Structure 1
């Protein structure tokens, strides 16, 4: 009975895997298909790279990818640094109103991003930061979610380590940099993965803040390109395939860290 149960689980996992992979395989297959030409002709597969040549000649896909990479990387680095400092201060530095300050950060999680869209746009406009990479980076350099995750992790670290460092004359900065950062790598990995993917996949704010194609990210550039080929399938699928390559490469090289980060966000280690 137990063996049958295991086989049922394996079959279900296989079916779910196929369900997730099938659209991706179909997208890649369409990218090699010439528009109006069937896949099979006279018993042979009709595969061509003409779609890739056309997409690369008509759309700055790699430039949009570079913009997304710059925005996501800078945001991730700054978020990890800023949120870790804020979480450390709330967790270990005792000052009047620290609990209320943490509650204020938690309230930020309850406010949808759409509610702050117009004030954020007006602020960026008044500062003259629209239509450049700064307008894409600055709004995302701090995250209430990151402060919450890191604060909960810092609370679980032994206080004896901090007390021992204080006896050796270490200040808050030395304790944060020499003790908390090395011990918090799982939390930083989880926050970094979440922040990078959120910045890479962000669509609404780039749509509002950027209209110049030079500063478009990949999530904004693809719909802009695909709108010119609404009646076709191969070219949009080719552009989507190219856009997916960086994320596939990141997953291949950092799959262990990604899985650990996802597992960490589900509960404390």
Structure 2
């Protein structure tokens, strides 16, 4: 018994050690980004021995705030990410509920067609999506940034997996009480799937916040840029050094990091409850 306990203790210590090592590896780029953002212009940022030496300055942040449309770009990113998240949750939950609880011809075929969308890379859809935006005169607008992202097969799959596990007794009891289909969806399925939808909302928000390729093609006005599209302009239009782009990257990363820290437990709960490994 003692040998087994000792073996378990050693194994757990090794697991913790490897976990800490992985955390350190993931934190190194973040630490380098932050330190570079407070390094004075002209200082070496690729030499490790020089990276942590003072002086440090907040002048790079001052330059970003006062010489670029950083707040406008942040607003654009926040508006697009928030709107995309809310609409995606609404549409995917309705679709998942219909596929899970309503009986109609071709239901399984529709579900597998939606799941097949997971295998189509966004690069394959760029040309037809852009042509649609041109035909409807939506280029360089918030609609162009939001609408293509509302098709979320992964969200439908996650929520359907959860809805399938809701006991039929709850639905039958609600029907006996005279509840309509929408009432069952709104008052039973949505409250029960709160953790799953929170996890999906976080994934959707972060993916929309970090999206570069489609916003880069969909807008051409500087005032309509989102942060991932706008940050590279610092290196070409404002400076050739890394300090100012890194300061902009820090400011762009803060909202996503805050959202993740505040709601990280919902990610774990949502994934566990939907059975996604």
TM-score, normalised via structure 1 length: 0.92
- Mapped partners of 2:61, 2:232: distance in 1: 17
**Which residue in 1 is equivalent to 2:130?**
121
Deviations 1:140-170 (A, max 9, x none): 1231111111111111110111111111111
Quote the Cα distance in structure 1 between the aligned partners of 2:258 and 2:115. 34
- Partner Cα separation in structure 1 for residue 127 and residue 275 of structure 2: 33
Q: Does structure 1 residue 52 correspond to structure 2 residue 61?
A: yes
Q: How far apart, CA to CA, are the structure 2 residues paired with 1:259 and 1:59?
A: 38
In the TM superposition, residue 192 of structure 1 has moved relative to its aligned partner by: 0.9
Name the structure 2 match of 1:137: 146
Task: Tell me which residue corresponds to 1:34.
Answer: 40
TM-fit CA distance, 1:248: 2.1
Q: Once superposed, which parts of structure 1, at least 4 consecutive aligned residues long, lie more than 6 Å away?
A: 38-41
Map 1:74-153 → 2, pairs under 5 A: 74-153=83-162
The alpha carbon displacement at 1:71 in A equals 0.6
1:17 aligned onto 2:23: yes
The answer for unaligned runs of 5 or more in structure 2 is: 1-6
- CA RMSD of superposed structures (Å): 2.1
Q: Report the CA distance shift for 1:102/1:208 in structure 2 as closer, same or farther (over 3 A).
A: same
Distance in 1 (CA, whole Å) between partners of 2:275 and 2:67 is: 43
1:166 and 1:266 mapped to 2: Cα distance?
28
Question: Structure 1: where are the runs of 5+ without partners?
Answer: none
Q: 1:82 to 1:105 in 2, by over 3 A?
A: same
* In 1, Cα distance between equivalents of 2:239 and 2:106: 55
* Contact 2:34–2:250, Cα closer than 8 Å, also in 1: yes
Query: How far apart are residue 87 of structure 1 and its match?
Result: 1.0
Single out whichever of 199-208 and 58-67 deviates more from structure 2.
58-67
Q: Deviations over 1:186-231 (max 9, x none)?
A: 2211211121111111111101111101111111111122223664
Q: Distance in 2 between matches of 1:106 and 1:35?
A: 49
Aligned to 1:233: 242
Q: Does 1:205 align with 2:209?
A: no
The residue number in structure 2 matching 1:177 is 186
1:38–1:46 Cα contact (<8 Å) kept: no
**CA separation in 2, counterparts of 1:170 and 1:265?**
26
- Separation (CA, whole Å) in 2 of partners of 1:262 and 1:87: 16
TM-score by length of 2: 0.89
Q: Secondary structure at the match of 1:136?
A: helix
